[in-house]
Amino acid sequence: LGRPAPPPAPAPADRKSKRATLMQIQSDTISAAKAFNPVKALPQRNRKKKPVSYSQLARSIHELAATCDQKKSQRQLVNSVFPKLAVYNSVDPSVAPSLLMLHQQCEDRNVLRYVYYYLARILSDNGSQGLSAAGGIPTPNWDALADIDVAGGVTRADVVPRIVDQLSAESTSDDVEFHARRLAALKALTSSSTSSSEMLEKLSEIVFGILEKVADTKQKRKKGIFTKQGGDKESILRSNLQYASLSALRRLPLDPGNPAFLHRAVQGIEFSDPVAVRHALSIISEIAVRDPYSVAMALGKNAQPGGMLHYPCFLVQF
């Protein structure tokens, strides 16, 4: 009646076969689980995205401009296409028709900001192959991109007059509802190349016309150059135009021999917008280096005791 004898130990071959069977079952189970619930491969962090070519960006602008009334197209332009296009040091004139279409038909503020920016870059570009001193990725040959536009090849000579006419009409509009667009159009317009005397004359006429309308020499500043006065809506709009027009005048080539140019700069000393006054003083100081007598005569009453140039803020500034 003693203890039962222990079962005999399994042979080594049996152990190996059982282990192999368990491993096979485990492998089959994992394979079946993956088949029902596939695991997405994690993206590699170091994997570099393929850069979007210039022609692809230009083509996207054409396609999205045709559906600019859709929010999806607007988001694509603002979040993807326009920012990527900014890395190139020039803008192909073949995209100008689509930009002008967006300018006329789109009302999204963010899209319009980019539109004015790129229209200004087209106007300011002097190089025939899109080369500029601003740096950035060189723009491909414009002739190679001519097939992008439906109408065929598009050159600067084709689009610049259309851009200038459209921006000129907008910058001279007195419609209050489009006040912000008027300021943006004026800034973009004065970015154009002034190598043409006809273009320079047109820009000067627009800027001088705005300065004539926003002159407020009857309003006296109470607290000085660094204090911005409040007021009703009309005075605020006038103040915005004062800043925009003096800023545009400063971007134009200096013209010391033109009495009208000096007169508008001196007139800006009495503007209510403080930044506009600083622009006016900067222009006057540059002209004074070349023609001090004309500047002294033009300042007139402003240089006399009690005039605008006797405010302490002007003395501190200069």
- Give the pLDDT confidence score for residue 156 in this predicted structure: 79
d(CA 124, CA 181): 19
pLDDT tens-place string over residues 251-287: 888 887 888 888 888 888 888 888 888 999 999 999 8
Contact predicate 99/68, CB 8 Å: no
What's at 275, amino acid-wise?
V
d(CA 258, CA 220): 27
Task: Please tell me whether the overall predicted TM-score, pTM, comes out greater than 0.85 for this model.
Answer: no
- Give the pLDDT confidence score for residue 63 in this predicted structure: 92
- Give the pLDDT confidence score for residue 13 in this predicted structure: 62
- Token pair recorded at residue 251: 């971007």
Phi and psi for 88 in degrees, rounded to 5? -80, 145
Contact predicate 251/243, CB 8 Å: no
Q: Which conformational region is residue 300 in: left (phi greater than 0), alpha (psi within -120 to 50 degrees), or beta?
A: left
**What stretches in the chain show pLDDT beneath 50?**
128-135, 141-151, 217, 220-227, 310-318
- Give the pLDDT confidence score for residue 238 in this predicted structure: 87
- Token pair recorded at residue 72: 């999806």
- Token pair recorded at residue 286: 């540059």
